[in-house]
Structure 1
Amino acid sequence: MTTTRTFFNLTVTRIQSVCQFELQGEGQKITEQVDYPLSLTQRYEDWQRAYLDYYRHLRGRKTIQDLQKKELPNIHLRGWNVINKNFRGRKVISGVGKITVDRSKQLKDAEAQFLDEFYRWLLSPDLINIRREIANAARKLADKYQSVEVFLTCNPIEIARLPWETWEIGTDLGIPEKIKIYRTPATIRNQPIRPLKRKARILAIIGYDTHLNFQADKQELESLDSIAYIEFVGWNTKKSKVLNADNETELKTEIFNAINDNKGWDILFFAGHSNENILTGGELYVAPNVSLGIQDIAEVLKKAQARGLQFAIFNSCSGLNIAESLINLGLSQVIVMREPIHNHVARKFLVQFVKSLAEFKDVHQALLDACQYLKQQVTRFSYPSAYLVPSLYRHPDAELFRLKSFGFWNAVKKWLPKPKYESWLLLLLLISLLPNVQDFFLDKRIWLQAFYRQFTHQFYKQESPLVLVKIDNKSLNEDKIKQVYPLDYSYLAKIIQKLSQSNSQLIGIDYILDQGGQQPQQTKLLNQAIRGAVSQENWFVFGALSTEDENIKETVTADIASLNWSMAGDVYIARWYVELPTKINNDKNYPFSYLLALAYAVQHQKSQNSLFADLPKPQLSSQHDFRNTITQPIKSSDARYNFLQNLRLHPLSNLQQSFQPILDFSIPPSQVYKSISACELLGSCESTTQIHHDLKNKVVIIVPSGYKQAGIRGKGEDNETVPPAISFWNGWGDGIFSRSAAHAYMVHHLLTQRLVVPVPDFLMILVGALLGKAVTLIIIEKPRNQVKIFKIFWGGLVIYLLSSLQIYTSAAILLPWFFPSLTFGIYILIATRRNIRE
């Protein structure tokens, strides 16, 4: 994705006492002439004198006279005068005497006066058209993180020495921090090449140190060894510092050949002494009395540029000629120091600059970071005015260079969480694992799904075979049932007899009938009713309760029904999840709802296909556990019983703890089951339905419904708060939701193979984190794309929500929305704030 650049070329030319400003860009040209104040030159010279004087005496260093008298013979400079052995340059300075004033204050005062004079000149009314044109271009930028690029060319070199980087062009017009200034030479004969996709290669030329000790520079560069290959060449890499005519040539040849390496380089670094020289394009001092002009190595620099050389940094003095020469050769960017630079300042600058490069910032931002570091109060007290010295020269057609990580480990490190920015992710993951949090968001998610189903009219067309016979408050009152817990068994007997008369074939009883000893007469009546129904080939599934060791402890007692001709299943429900057998070889771990679905499937196949005639049916004379005889085919390889296998196994059944199917309350209850009060079935109260007239091929479940004693302990455990989706279908208001209705949903899901698998929030948070991390890396590397990414982000969230709703409906997979979207959004926000700060 590319972004249209907005840039201008600004040329400033001084001709005697007049400066001409020429702005070109966007198809137009503005030329203005402004008087050049001679006082600005005086202020610059005062500042330069104070600057050199302060750093010459920094930390008690010896004066120039001491250096010349005592140390000059030892460093063999062949008549060159030097400022101080702690400067990375050579320059003739005279008239230095003993100064007793506060040099720090003197320098700060000189800086303030110099910058004040410089800014007043740039705010001249004659330049208002140029400033307004640039500011207007900045106002038109659609992307608030985009900037206007101003490429500045200055003639002669005295004008180039001014700190143009500090010119805040748009501040007086209300457009701060939207305009970036780069330097560029007047003539450029070569075009840059695009960076090569490889691990960065850095060639570091170490010059003659003159007691400066460039070991710190080497160590800083070596800190990049995980993301770049680094090679050192030059004087300070030699074992001996004794030179003669032969090894002087050898040293130059070594540097020449290193630059000319066939593998190429991406970055050229120089630490040492340097100086301006118009004739040679600048000079680098690589050994005592040995210098290399840029023109001397221009041939190999062109070859290196063709092989990928993008960027050069000269951590040395007075590099204006050097920068212009290298940009002219086609390099993308060059950083130099316009003034002599103290060794300590050069080191501090390099530390921060390398740190920003290691964070994969472009070289301009790395330069700004380093200058800002030098400008901060802590460093400003020690190194005043140092932030004014560095400059970046850039080829107008080149993209800003930045390091990029290559290799497997570097690719992995980019994706690893950074505690500074991503400590919140662990907290979010832990929150998503809390059961109450999961239940809360699951309820809201299924409610949204119910709304979506109604909006899109995606309903089941096939009628459900489920019928609930509800023993509710209406039935208890109308039929005057006094014994509620345990329920009067004679009342159950009446219901069963009525169901038999209505041609029922499968009856589930959502009660644990283990209290026969408390009501012997009623128990006898219930036993007789059940036996009578079984003799008419009715199947029964009773409720049971398993202990932690999976042994059924509470179940129908033998004086009510025998498990040789009936079945009992566990009525436990984990809120609100479908209960499936967890161990295929454990015959005691079958849920109540599952056995009802299994019994219906067997009955249905027996009635429709003669191949299943040998499947067992309940017989009062049976001496074998009936449930085992039914479930045994599940374990067989007989192809006839594939329908049982499909009912038993789910694609994710082995991962139930993480992917246990949920109850799909997005389906309206009216499509899951029909219901009738027990008194309506018995005819003791007015009925509004005719469903009880013929119950053949139905799954009938006798359930407790809503009375306060409903539950295993008689304390209303069966009564739950109505799930939001059920309230959506039934109309909002107070009410309760019976767990028996949840059993009906389970039977429906098993019979229709509607097993909605929820993808865990934990997993989708990690997916959201990976996507967020990917977008974060894009934003950090290409901040100009940030607005487009925001639009894609919001559009993507809407698309993800709609897609997840349809995937739930069509593919029975629930993709969480809130936590993954929150995770992704936080990553985008963090990336944005990092860009703003950086």
Structure 2
Amino acid sequence: MVYRLTVHKIDQSCLFDLSWGEGQRLTASVVLPEGLLSLYAAWQRAYLGYYKQALRGRAGGAGQVVAPAIDWHSQLVQAEAGLLSEFHTWLKQGDLYDLRQEVVAAAQAQGVAELFLTCTPLDLARLPWETWELGAPVQIVRSPATIRATTAHRPTGRRSKARVLAILGDETGLNFSGERQTLNAQRRLLEVQYLGWQPGEDPIALKQRVCEAIADPLGWDVLFFAGHSNEAALVGGQVAIAPQTTLTLKDLTPYLQTAQQRGLQFALFNSCSGLDIAQGLINLGLSQVAIMREPIHNEVAQAFLVQLLQRLTQGHNVQEALHGACQSLRAEQSLTYPSAYLVPSLFRHPTSVPYRLEPQGWRSRLRRWRPTGREARIVAALALVSLIPTLPPTEFPVSPQAWLLDRRVLAQAVYRDLTGQLGDDDPSAVVLVQIDGESFRQWDISTYHPINRAMVADIVAALVDRGAAVVGIDYLLDLAQPEQDEQLNRVLTEAIAQQQTWFVFGTVRQNGRWLPPHPNVIDPDRVLLGDAWLPWRRVQPYRPHSDRPGPFSHQLVVAQRLRQRRRTGTLFGPQPTLQGPPLAEQVRRYPQTHELDLSPRATLHPITELSYDAWQHWLQPILDLSLPPERAFTAIPAWSLRQDAAASPDFKDAIVIVAAGGYEAAGLAPDGADNLVPPPALRYWRDRTLHPATHFTGGEAHAYMTHHHLAHRLVIPIPDLWMILLAAVGGKALSLYLGDRPYPRRLVAAGLVAATAGYGLLSLQLYISAGVLLPWLLPSLAVWCYSLPRLRENTDEPR
């Protein structure tokens, strides 16, 4: 809980105004003791008397040192005790009880409470408020009365080392070797750049060099100043950068604002009387400033810096380190440096986070890459979306991956169309013979289910007459039709015996067994069986070491390749006959992949098989509907085969598929199960030909798959989850990179937009050129979600 306490002196009283939370407030008015400011003045005289020989603000004496007539050490210790006694007694007054109790109770309940203290006028601010005995859980930090600018919240892990600009000012009567030694000892964590006056340097040139260094485009994490400084209310304080050469905060304002926008987090003025400087810097939007409220002895300043840096390098934040350094001066060096612990103060912007040095080493570098809570939630959400199974709506009502895949293939179809990359494959290599409603009318058949065997026999006979050597029948013929089976059997056996025609029959698993054609139709050992199951928008993979039949389209291509080997004179290899070993066994023993020029992508990938357990289809080829149907296969209605064979095309080099062509009762059940909802890409192509798609049949899917096998056009989708994780790494790298360097926000945003668009175009082209589908949307969202916070905070343009 953050508490804000304003103490304002009005005549002889002080108004204490405590606010916190959502508008809660307590006020109290107490009389300022008449002797408190006098005791402070007495302490200040003793302090200056003791430290007069080497204060940062006055030159040390030369020649022989005369022993002081006054025991300033004793005087200072007594003045300190008197001041603190009166000060603490005043703060323990009953009128302040409610304020104290509210802060202490909150600190005890929550473990710690921050009390931002603002004191006006300046005489009141000089009192040692940090010694207020409220208890360890209450951290007192100062804040000015006027704050016009906001401060940027800079996350940790911005750079491998903190960049420190060390300005060493006028060294007259001082010695900065201690500061240099202390800063150089922390080179492992600090990247220090020193800036100081060189003898003979022009004062104007030096001022310009200091200003330009503060506004360095690479930015600074810490600004350190050592030398003489002083209060100057009208100009916000001043610092001496060379003999008789000073810069005021007013002079430095635009450069300090630029430095703050570029990442400046903490300023340490190891110099004298810095109250005006601290208040002015916080007013400009700097998040935290450490100063000395009084003149500081050269050795005390160096001892304080050693203690502060030791604690910062041990992982403490600035607030903890400054408190620890003051306690060390009080407990361990009070005899040498009495009252020195009362002088340092930390001012913070109320919305800031205490600055902390990032540790080094491989563990710390690894921690820089560790996702924040927000980043982890982003990746988890995107990963969850990517892992929702890609199933059709009938099986999984809400499937973002299915929706995204359809739109991705649609975008690919549009890209193909716009760029004219439609392929040069011969569409006549695959012929789809579609049995449609007109075909039933031509044969005068009114029963659609089951398919009429005599009609199938006529179609097969017509195909064989036209030279078809590989014929796939995408119908289940497992049940007997006594009146019609004999005619179909005669056509099939004659084609096998006389022309060695390859027949592939579709089959499905039912009750644990595969359904072959009925023996009255054809002996199952004389033909090949092909698994006719259609995975949604995917190509069914071939499983070489499985007892299940190969996919229907794969079996057709195997048959066509074996047929071609026979035609080119290679006698070795299986062929259809009415006798001998089962044809399927002969084909299974044949070395298919190498001998038959089949795509290795057609074989089930081990990763794909493992992903099935998680309802995923990683690396399983997709159905490439980005190709227009007329470029993938030739579709003809079955009734056209009743025309004169001489007027019809020759099918001897084609794979012919006989399948349902869209009639209402097509499919395993008489409910039109074979008529699927047309995918967006197919609708796009049909609309281009002015023939709107009303359905997408299983036969068309098998024809597409057969084309993919023949043309080696199996498109492998890279899993979204893989690319999301890769994008998260890239997004984290970009976030760290942007955090280390200031760039115009618009330039970075334009670069991200261009990179996102470029990646999209690259993925569209790789789909065509390499057969690889790179997901675009979810990985791009990951990169943007990582980068947007940096875009909001990392800019060298005024906000």
Give the TM-score category using the shorter length: 0.5 to 0.7
Distance in 2 separating the partners of 1:269 and 1:178: 23
Match of 1:410?
A: 364
Q: CA offset at residue 184 of structure 1?
A: 12
Q: CA offset at residue 96 of structure 1?
A: 11
Match of 1:317?
A: 342
Deviating more after overlay: 284-293 vs 795-804: 284-293
Aligned runs of 1:33-48 on 2, under 5 Å? none
Distance in 1 separating the partners of 2:700 and 2:647: 18
Q: CA offset at residue 813 of structure 1?
A: 0.7
| 2:522 is the alignment partner of 1:561 | yes
1:619 maps to which of 562, 573, 577: 577
Distance in 2 separating the partners of 1:716 and 1:557: 23
Match of 1:498?
A: 462
Aligned runs of 1:199-348 on 2, under 5 Å? 224=315, 270-272=325-327, 286-291=332-337, 316-318=341-343, 336-337=344-345
| 2:578 is the alignment partner of 1:523 | no
Match of 1:724?
A: 680
Q: CA offset at residue 577 of structure 1?
A: 0.7
User: Do 2:622 and 2:715's aligned partners in 1 also have CA atoms closer than 8 Å?
Assistant: yes
Distance in 2 separating the partners of 1:790 and 1:691: 63
1:802–1:402 distance in 2 versus 1, CA, 3 Å: farther
| 2:613 is the alignment partner of 1:642 | no
Distance in 2 separating the partners of 1:373 and 1:47: 33
User: Do 1:776 and 1:828's aligned partners in 2 also have CA atoms closer than 8 Å?
Assistant: yes
Aligned runs of 1:458-473 on 2, under 5 Å? 458-464=421-427, 465-473=429-437
1:775 maps to which of 728, 734, 747: 734
User: Do 1:78 and 1:289's aligned partners in 2 also have CA atoms closer than 8 Å?
Assistant: no
Q: What SS is found at the alignment partner of 2:76?
A: coil
1:468–1:290 distance in 2 versus 1, CA, 3 Å: same
Distance in 2 separating the partners of 1:812 and 1:825: 27
**TM-score, normalising length: structure 1:** 0.59
1:506–1:57 distance in 2 versus 1, CA, 3 Å: farther
Distance in 1 separating the partners of 2:281 and 2:78: 32
Match of 1:759?
A: 718
> Which amino acid letter does the alignment assign opposite residue 519 of structure 2?
A
Distance in 1 separating the partners of 2:382 and 2:604: 26
Q: What SS is found at the alignment partner of 2:539?
A: coil
1:372–1:135 distance in 2 versus 1, CA, 3 Å: closer
Deviating more after overlay: 768-777 vs 536-545: 768-777
> Which amino acid letter does the alignment assign opposite residue 599 of structure 1?
A
Q: Deviations over 1:287-336 (max 9, x none)?
A: 3522499xxxxxxxxxxxxxxxxxxxx9x432xxxxxxxxxxxxxxxxx4
Distance in 2 separating the partners of 1:679 and 1:579: 30
Deviating more after overlay: 670-679 vs 645-654: 645-654
Q: CA offset at residue 527 of structure 1?
A: 0.9
Aligned runs of 1:680-719 on 2, under 5 Å? 680-683=640-643, 692-719=648-675
1:372–1:292 distance in 2 versus 1, CA, 3 Å: same
| 2:386 is the alignment partner of 1:432 | yes
1:750 maps to which of 709, 717, 723: 709
| 2:589 is the alignment partner of 1:632 | yes
Q: What SS is found at the alignment partner of 1:568?
A: strand
Distance in 1 separating the partners of 2:546 and 2:147: 89
Q: CA offset at residue 183 of structure 1?
A: 8.5
User: Do 1:749 and 1:755's aligned partners in 2 also have CA atoms closer than 8 Å?
Assistant: yes
2:560 maps to which of 600, 603, 607: 600
1:80 maps to which of 65, 76, 81: 76
| 2:514 is the alignment partner of 1:514 | no
| 2:772 is the alignment partner of 1:816 | no
Q: CA offset at residue 543 of structure 1?
A: 0.7
Distance in 1 separating the partners of 2:88 and 2:566: 114
Q: CA offset at residue 798 of structure 1?
A: 0.9
Distance in 1 separating the partners of 2:88 and 2:471: 111
1:272–1:56 distance in 2 versus 1, CA, 3 Å: farther
Distance in 1 separating the partners of 2:647 and 2:505: 23
Match of 1:364?
A: none
1:116–1:737 distance in 2 versus 1, CA, 3 Å: closer
Of all paired residues, the percent bearing the same amino acid is: 24
User: Do 2:77 and 2:338's aligned partners in 1 also have CA atoms closer than 8 Å?
Assistant: no
Q: Deviations over 1:514-571 (max 9, x none)?
A: 122xx3111111111111221222110001002485x41x221111011222111110
Match of 2:538?
A: 577
RMSD, aligned CA: 5.3
Aligned runs of 1:789-828 on 2, under 5 Å? 789-828=748-787
1:746–1:548 distance in 2 versus 1, CA, 3 Å: farther
Q: CA offset at residue 633 of structure 1?
A: 1.3
Distance in 1 separating the partners of 2:88 and 2:286: 43
Consecutive unaligned residues of structure 2, counting only runs of 5 or more, are 1-7, 18-28, 44-71, 101-116, 126-143, 149-231, 237-247, 294-302, 390-398, 609-616
Distance in 2 separating the partners of 1:441 and 1:697: 37
| 2:386 is the alignment partner of 1:423 | no
User: Do 2:619 and 2:718's aligned partners in 1 also have CA atoms closer than 8 Å?
Assistant: yes
Q: CA offset at residue 644 of structure 1?
A: 2.9
Q: CA offset at residue 488 of structure 1?
A: 0.8
> Which amino acid letter does the alignment assign opposite residue 81 of structure 1?
V
Match of 1:668?
A: 628
User: Do 1:807 and 1:814's aligned partners in 2 also have CA atoms closer than 8 Å?
Assistant: yes
1:450 maps to which of 397, 400, 413: 413
Q: What SS is found at the alignment partner of 1:162?
A: helix
> Which amino acid letter does the alignment assign opposite residue 536 of structure 2?
R
Q: What SS is found at the alignment partner of 1:470?
A: strand
Question: How many residue pairs end up in the alignment?
Answer: 583
Q: Deviations over 1:53-86 (max 9, x none)?
A: x99999xxxx999xx9xxxxxxx9744335667x
Distance in 1 separating the partners of 2:147 and 2:473: 94
| 2:605 is the alignment partner of 1:653 | yes
> Which amino acid letter does the alignment assign opposite residue 578 of structure 1?
V
Q: Deviations over 1:671-691 (max 9, x none)?
A: 11001101112129xx9xx98
Q: What SS is found at the alignment partner of 2:545?
A: coil
User: Do 1:56 and 1:84's aligned partners in 2 also have CA atoms closer than 8 Å?
Assistant: no
Distance in 1 separating the partners of 2:776 and 2:88: 73
1:146–1:697 distance in 2 versus 1, CA, 3 Å: same
User: Do 1:137 and 1:148's aligned partners in 2 also have CA atoms closer than 8 Å?
Assistant: no
Distance in 1 separating the partners of 2:90 and 2:665: 103
Q: CA offset at residue 701 of structure 1?
A: 0.5
> Which amino acid letter does the alignment assign opposite residue 504 of structure 2?
V
Distance in 1 separating the partners of 2:562 and 2:775: 36
Deviating more after overlay: 798-807 vs 675-684: 675-684
Q: Deviations over 1:564-604 (max 9, x none)?
A: 2211111001111111222x222433111110011111112
Consecutive unaligned residues of structure 1, counting only runs of 5 or more, are 1-41, 69-75, 125-129, 171-176, 186-201, 208-216, 233-266, 275-283, 294-313, 319-335, 338-348, 350-366, 375-400, 636-640
Q: What SS is found at the alignment partner of 1:81?
A: helix
Distance in 1 separating the partners of 2:532 and 2:86: 101
Deviating more after overlay: 736-745 vs 115-124: 115-124
User: Do 1:204 and 1:268's aligned partners in 2 also have CA atoms closer than 8 Å?
Assistant: no
1:490–1:138 distance in 2 versus 1, CA, 3 Å: farther
1:47–1:682 distance in 2 versus 1, CA, 3 Å: farther
User: Do 1:82 and 1:92's aligned partners in 2 also have CA atoms closer than 8 Å?
Assistant: no
**TM-score, normalising length: structure 2:** 0.62
> Which amino acid letter does the alignment assign opposite residue 571 of structure 1?
A
